[in-house]
Amino acid sequence: MKIKYTLSDYGEDDFYEFEYHGRLDKDHPELLAEKAAEDYFHNKGGWECSWPIKLTITDVGGHSNWQLTTFEVDVENIPMFRAYKVK
């Protein structure tokens, strides 16, 4: 199903969407916000943003009973280490 979202910090005019194949859990809507943030980071240039971001899920596959909620989503950096032999 298509999930649509917008970023509150960057203007309400930019809507994004991605295809979601997981299970919807109304008790944990933050999981869907995390998936939307992941989509934004990897596919929509989100790596260039200053995190955390405010993200609003605006449409969940046409489910009218899904409550619109805004989330603040942060990204955790994973350190990468490289070793080089010293001469």
pLDDT digit string (tens) for 12-52? 567 899 999 988 887 888 999 999 999 999 999 888 888 99
For residue 48, the model assigns a pLDDT of: 87
* Contacts within 8 Å (CB) and 24+ apart, 6-12: 6/55, 6/56, 6/58, 7/40, 7/53, 7/54, 7/55, 7/56, 8/53, 8/54, 8/55, 8/56, 8/70, 9/53, 9/54, 10/49, 10/53
Name the pTM for this structure.
0.80
For residue 64, the model assigns a pLDDT of: 67
- pLDDT tens track for 60-71: 887 766 777 899
The residues spanned by each domain of the chain are 2-73
